[in-house]
Amino acid sequence: MAILKIARMGHPVLRRVAEPVADPADPEILRLARDMAETMLDAGGVGLAAPQVHVPLRLIVFRVPQDRVGEGEEAAPGISILINPEIEPLGDETLLAWEGCLSIPGLRGAVPRHARIRYTGFDIGGNPVSVEAAGFHARVVQHELDHLDGVLYLDRMEDFGRLAFEEEMRRYHLPEPTEG
């Protein structure tokens, strides 16, 4: 496995729509997914999309740590690999929360996301996946799927007064954003 270089905001690969993976069971896709997972963990992230490592394919890896799970939600065990994913919002409710991105280091912004979603796609063996997710789990998947469509979390922000450097957030103990 290898640590891959992460594309930063400004690189054109982050603004392209990624191509579908032709064969989810291709050994090269498994190698890429493993390298992406290792890169994500090395960078301290919770999600990574293939375009973020300069590969314009519809592939994401993510994890939902227990300490990021809200009441009534479940952590996803280990690292999830999702190929050719799609999402469907489950209801109209949205939640506003801080997000960061490995491609935009050092910043966090308050981003509205669907509170509940269903995501579908394929696992690394080419088997169909269909999962309902809420809270942080839903947020991570939505964030990573945005990367597959050339969208950064900054594009989703409604108030740039809620954009801050992580260092300043820690220094001044900024709370979770609230709606309105």
Query: Could you tell me how far CA 122 lies from the centroid of its own chain?
Result: 16
Residue 172 pLDDT > 70, yes or no?
A: yes
Please state, for a pLDDT cut of 90, what percent of the chain lies above it: 84
Average pLDDT, the chain: 94
Query: Considering only CA atoms, which of 80, 25, 57 is closest in space to residue 148?
Result: 57
In terms of pLDDT, which residue wins out, 178 or 57?
57
Please confirm, yes or no, whether 144 is among the known catalytic residues: yes
Pairing type for strands 94-101 and 104-114 reads antiparallel
Q: Which residues of 58-74 are buried (b: 16+ CB within 10 A; e: fewer)?
A: bbbbbbbeeeebeeeee
Domains of the chain: 12-172 (3.90.45.10)
Report the Cα 111 to chain-centroid distance in Å.
13
Mean pLDDT of 88-112: 97
Confidence of residue 74 (pLDDT cuts 50, 70, 90): low
Rounded-to-integer distance, Cα 26 and Cα 22, Å = 9
Check 38, 86, 144, 166 and give the catalytic one.
144
Q: Is the separation of the CB atoms in 164 and 104 below 8 Å? A: no
Q: Which pLDDT band, with edges at 50, 70 and 90, does 73 fall under?
A: low
Alpha-carbon span 17 to 57, nearest angstrom: 9
pLDDT digits 0-9 by tens, 109-148? 999 999 999 999 999 999 999 999 999 999 999 999 999 9
Q: Percent helix, strand and coil across the chain, each rounded to 5?
A: 30, 30, 35
Arithmetic mean of pLDDT, 59-68? 89
- pLDDT tens digits for range 12-59: 999 999 999 999 999 999 999 999 999 999 999 999 999 999 999 999
